[in-house]
Chain A
Amino acid sequence: ELKVEQNPLFLSMQEGKNYTIYCNYSTTSDRLYWYRQDPGKSLESLFVLLSNGAVKQEGRLMASLDTKARLSTLHITAAVHDLSATYFCAVVSNRDDKIIFGKGTRLHILP
């Protein structure tokens, strides 16, 4: 059964620094989502990654997918306070199209 692991689960960082969130998954998949969630709110779609080697960028966030390694990364460049939120990766099972979420990375950016 598909399992998704994110790390770190909590990240506190200074504004202006770079960091990477990792998402590993256990079975074959070539579709992966990244979401942002603010406290008390629903999920906002950030990226959809649909093939091996896919890379997408929006502002200070860049996501990539390596289906051979079963790994996706979300890279934050020159973090700003507004990026403080919880970030989830979600993987679509090739077998049955179930979508399995990681536990989330709670990102706190200090001004």
Chain B
Amino acid sequence: DTGVSQNPRHKITKRGQNVTFRCDPISEHNRLYWYRQTLGQGPEFLTYFQNEAQLEKSRLLSDRFSAERPKGSFSTLEIQRTEQGDSAMYLCASSSHLRVQFYEQYFGPGTRLTVT
């Protein structure tokens, strides 16, 4: 397996447009996390899935953000009506929750969003 992949790697959009990002986790991993990172800050938790179920969502996440993981494999994160404040790196990570020794979380390369 080649690790966690994210597409696109870069996205430039105009304010008010909708954008969708995709994350493909490591194949045997049942947990998938989304984070947002702005310059000079640590990653900020957005949401996570166990298989296809979305278990937690940050209270800071507005209704413009939605995430899905329809078959428990890849996940999408959609931002509607983008604002300039949404400009950030969006990171996806996956892990296996079945056995303690696989709690390690692996990150993808990220999608850098710029809203103009």
Determine if A88 and B42 form an interchain contact, defined as CB atoms under 8 angstroms apart. yes
Determine if A88 and B100 form an interchain contact, defined as CB atoms under 8 angstroms apart. no
Determine if A104 and B42 form an interchain contact, defined as CB atoms under 8 angstroms apart. yes
Determine if A42 and B91 form an interchain contact, defined as CB atoms under 8 angstroms apart. yes
Q: Identify the stretch in A58-66, A71-79, A94-102 within 8 Å (CB) of chain B at 4 or more residues.
A: A94-102
Determine if A31 and B104 form an interchain contact, defined as CB atoms under 8 angstroms apart. no
Size of interface on B: residues with Cβ below 8 Å to A: 23
Q: A33–B110 Cα gap in the complex (Å)? A: 19
Q: A43 at the A/B interface (Cβ < 8 Å)?
A: yes
Q: A45–B44 Cα gap in the complex (Å)? A: 17
Determine if A101 and B105 form an interchain contact, defined as CB atoms under 8 angstroms apart. no
Partner of A48, one of B43, B45, B91, B104: B104
Q: A50 at the A/B interface (Cβ < 8 Å)?
A: yes
Determine if B45 and A43 form an interchain contact, defined as CB atoms under 8 angstroms apart. no
Determine if A103 and B42 form an interchain contact, defined as CB atoms under 8 angstroms apart. yes
How many whole Å from A95's CB to the nearest CB in chain B?
10
Partner of A42, one of B44, B56, B104, B110: B110
Q: A99–B94 Cα gap in the complex (Å)? A: 12
Determine if A99 and B109 form an interchain contact, defined as CB atoms under 8 angstroms apart. no
- B residues sitting closer than 8 Å to A (CB atoms) are 33, 35, 40-45, 48, 55-56, 58, 91, 93, 100, 103-110
Q: 5 smallest A-B Cβ distances: which pairs?
A: A101-B42, A43-B107, A42-B107, A101-B43, A42-B109
